[in-house]
């Protein structure tokens, strides 16, 4: 099934690679439910939905794509969902927000079945791609700093430095130091081991209290949140969630595609082009997103952490299958994860470091070219300051073609970018979110 001989691999190698990938991305089992619970999603629902979405996307990638790439809810999209989309002020509940994710998944499936997905990625300027990634990184890091109270509200300057003597801040800084050292030493699973070390310290200092047992049988979700496309579409239209759907769609499309191509290329799996196999692999994240929304989690994406498994020798879908099996075992630890969710210091270092890794994309932006630099700057600066990925994307897509027109470089802009600029302008003026 996995054609191990053709890939010049073995069962042992694939299993080791699967374990390696799992350790590098296991933090999402803890971080994702915690972030979604801040939006009101019941913790157990979010935890189980995270497992289900990961299993569906990763198993589909393993069995139908035969690639050593894992799928799971993406960092950035979960934070955007919890802290920007869901809003008491505008009446957007998490149930309504999942309608937007569900529609995103369906549109993603449709696009993945056509070549439009590839054309769309090619049309988006590299400047905006890199800026969006960097902006999301800053957004995630800011959330980590805020949740751990390293940064707090300030009466005159909006934000300021928190109390560095408080137990929570000291624990966060300790966990951050441990994780940074592990990263610097190139330890596979640095984020996971950093969280584990911080949790142990939290237990020893009395900041972590276990809620009963550590293990329990996996629970099925309490309910299916959304399953009717007509109802979901009606929610999106009624509450004007167009920019939310587009933001989810845009980010997941080029994030997943970029990760997929990068990891597959690293594994040497793109030399013999197989469009049918690649097409099936591209469907995995869109299916994971759709199923995940039904049970209660934000959009899924291909995980760049899969590159660690590839570096360990993973070359086939067996690596991804091992990752999926390990996530099944992880489902038995929901009481432990629920206990960890009460201590922000355990997950905050991961958010800060993931933000650091994502902001590295700014090095690819042409900062000496103003019509490239300014739209990128707007994207990067507005995402964390407005707590809205959609707003950052909108300002970037509006200013980029405008500056190109002013510079007389209209031919450098694809027609679809002008269309997006008009749509985003209408959204910001008449349907601000």
Q: Please state, as a whole number, how many other Cβ atoms lie within 10 Å of the Cβ of residue 274.
A: 13
Q: Evaluate if residue 433 carries a pLDDT over 60.
A: no
The two three-digit tokens of residue 134, written as one number: 């960097």
> Are 247 and 383 within 8 A, CB to CB?
no
The two three-digit tokens of residue 270, written as one number: 């793109």
Q: Which residue has the tokens 């157990």?
A: 44
What are the Cα distances from residue 281, in Å, to 120, 149, 252?
18, 41, 14
Contacts of 275 (CB under 8 A, 6+ apart): none
Least confident of 198-207, 223-232, 234-243, 255-264: 255-264
User: Mind listing the pLDDT tens digit for each residue in 138-178?
Assistant: 988 998 898 899 988 888 888 898 889 999 999 999 999 99
Q: Evaluate if residue 39 carries a pLDDT over 90.
A: yes
What percent of the chain stands above pLDDT 90?
Answer: 39
Bigger pLDDT: 120 vs 97: 97
At residue 252, the pLDDT reads 82
Quote the pTM value. Answer: 0.82
Q: Evaluate if residue 272 carries a pLDDT over 70.
A: no
Q: What is the separation, in whole angstroms, between the first and last Cα of the chain?
A: 47
Q: Evaluate if residue 208 carries a pLDDT over 90.
A: no
DSSP readout, 225-242?
A: S---HHHHHHHHHHTT-H
User: Mind listing the pLDDT tens digit for each residue in 373-410?
Assistant: 999 999 999 988 888 787 888 899 999 999 999 998 88
Check residue 93 and give left, alpha or beta (phi > 0: left; psi -120 to 50: alpha): beta
CA 336 to centroid of chain Cα atoms: 23
Specify burial of residue 97 (Cβ count, 10 A radius: 0-12, 13-18, 19+): buried
Q: If you average pLDDT over residues 273-296, what whole number do you get?
A: 84
Bigger pLDDT: 199 vs 188: 199
Q: Evaluate if residue 273 carries a pLDDT over 70.
A: no
> Are 239 and 91 within 8 A, CB to CB?
yes
What number of residues does the chain have?
A: 433
Residue 5 DSSP symbol: T
Q: If you average pLDDT over residues 98-107, what whole number do you get?
A: 95
Q: Give which of 58, 60, 56 is closest to 48, Cα–Cα.
A: 56
Helix (H, G, I), strand (E, B) or coil at 257: helix
What percent of the chain stands above pLDDT 70?
Answer: 96
Q: How far apart are CA 238 and CA 251, in angstroms?
A: 23
Phi and psi (nearest 5°) for 151? -115, 135
Res. 24 pLDDT band, cuts 50 70 90: confident
Contacts of 54 (CB under 8 A, 6+ apart): 28, 70, 71, 72, 73, 288, 300, 324, 327
The two three-digit tokens of residue 9, written as one number: 């691999």
User: Mind listing the pLDDT tens digit for each residue in 171-182?
Assistant: 999 999 999 999
At residue 431, the pLDDT reads 63
Least confident of 29-38, 174-183, 240-249: 240-249
């Amino acid at each position: 099934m996995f054609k191990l001989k053709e890939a010049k691999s073995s069962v042992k190698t694939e299993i080791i690679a699967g374990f390696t990938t799992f350790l590098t991305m296991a933090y999402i089992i803890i971080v994702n439910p915690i972030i979604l619970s801040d939006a009101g999603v019941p913790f157990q629902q979010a935890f189980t939905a995270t497992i289900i979405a990961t299993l569906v996307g990763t198993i589909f990638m393993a069995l139908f794509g035969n690639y050593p790439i894992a799928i799971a809810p993406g960092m950035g999209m979960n934070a955007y969902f919890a802290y920007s989309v869901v809003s008491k002020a505008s009446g957007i509940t998490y149930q309504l927000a999942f309608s937007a994710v569900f529609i995103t998944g369906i549109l993603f499936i449709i696009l993945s079945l056509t070549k439009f997905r590839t054309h769309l990625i090619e049309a988006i300027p590299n400047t905006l791609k890199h800026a969006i990634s960097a902006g999301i990184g800053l957004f995630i890091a800011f959330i980590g700093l805020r949740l751990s109270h390293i940064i707090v509200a300030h009466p005159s300057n909006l934000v300021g430095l928190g109390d560095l003597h408080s137990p929570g801040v000291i624990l966060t800084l300790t966990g951050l130091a441990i994780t940074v050292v592990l990263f610097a030493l190139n330890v596979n699973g640095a984020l996971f081991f950093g969280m584990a070390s911080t949790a142990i310290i939290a237990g020893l200092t009395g900041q972590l209290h276990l809620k009963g047992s550590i293990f329990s049988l996996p629970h099925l979700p309490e309910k299916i949140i959304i399953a009717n496309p007509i109802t979901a579409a009606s929610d999106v239209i009624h509450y004007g969630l167009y920019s939310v759907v587009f933001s989810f769609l845009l980010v997941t499309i080029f994030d997943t595609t970029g990760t997929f191509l990068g990891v597959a290329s690293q594994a040497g799996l793109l030399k013999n082009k197989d469009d049918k196999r690649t097409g099936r692999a591209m469907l995995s994240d869109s299916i994971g997103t759709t199923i995940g929304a039904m049970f209660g989690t934000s959009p899924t994406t291909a995980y760049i952490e899969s590159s660690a498994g590839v570096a360990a020798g993973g070359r086939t879908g067996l690596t991804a299958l091992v990752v999926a099996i390990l996530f099944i075992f992880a489902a038995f630890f929901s009481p432990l994860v629920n206990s960890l969710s009460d201590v922000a210091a355990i997950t905050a270092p991961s958010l800060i470091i993931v933000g650091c890794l994502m902001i590295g994309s700014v090095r690819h932006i042409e900062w000496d070219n103003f019509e490239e630099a300014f739209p990128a700057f707007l994207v990067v600066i507005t995402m964390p300051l407005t707590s809205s990925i959609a707003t950052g994307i909108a300002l970037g897509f509006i200013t980029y073609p405008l500056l190109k027109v002013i510079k007389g470089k209209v031919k450098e802009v694809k027609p679809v970018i002008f269309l997006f600029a008009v749509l985003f302008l209408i959204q910001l003026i008449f349907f601000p979110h």
